[in-house]
Amino acid sequence: MRLFLLAFVLLSSSTFGQSVLGKWKTIDDNTGEEKSIVDIFERDGKVFGKIIKIFPPPGDDPDPVCDKCPQDDGRYKKKIIGMEIIQNMKKSDDELIDGTILDPEAGKIYRCKLWLEGNDLMVRGYWGPFFRTQTWKRAN
């Protein structure tokens, strides 16, 4: 009985101890290449994420601005490094929902959902009934 109880406590703490908060490597789902590092943090009971580092291809601007962002968005023409791309996520069971994510390369803003699968962060952007999911890896 003690062994069962110990196993339950250890499994529970490892499962519930995981958090989406922290630094994550974004991975391009087409090429498999690292694109950036996003720091996900909590502020005023909601979760946000900002780009803290990018990995531009050789010859690309190492410190670009979001010139494709919507002109009525406060991030238009702002530096991508330091930009909040995930905004206003709310906790719901084991997921974060009801927020948005910005793709600064395309300048598109999508409804967003985040959740953990093992050690990976699943990031899903919705546009109407369509969605795309990326797998982000924890950054050291």
The DSSP line for 22-34 is: EEEEEE-TTT--E
pTM for the structure as a whole: 0.86
Q: How far apart are the C-alpha atoms of 96 and 101, rounded to whole Å?
A: 12
Each of the 140 residues of the chain gets a pLDDT tens digit; together they read 443 333 333 333 333 457 999 999 999 888 899 999 999 999 999 999 999 999 999 999 999 999 999 999 999 999 999 999 999 999 999 999 999 999 999 999 999 999 999 999 999 999 999 999 999 999 98
3-state helix, strand, coil in the chain (%, to 5): 10, 50, 40
Domain ranges, ordered by start, for the chain: 20-138
Give the single-character DSSP code of 56. P
Question: Can you give the pLDDT at residue 39?
Answer: 98
Which CATH class for the 20-138 domain?
mainly beta
| 17 token code pair | 């101890």
Counting other chains too, the contacts that 118-125 makes at CB distance below 8 Å and 24 or more residues apart are 119/18, 121/20, 121/24, 121/40, 123/26, 125/101
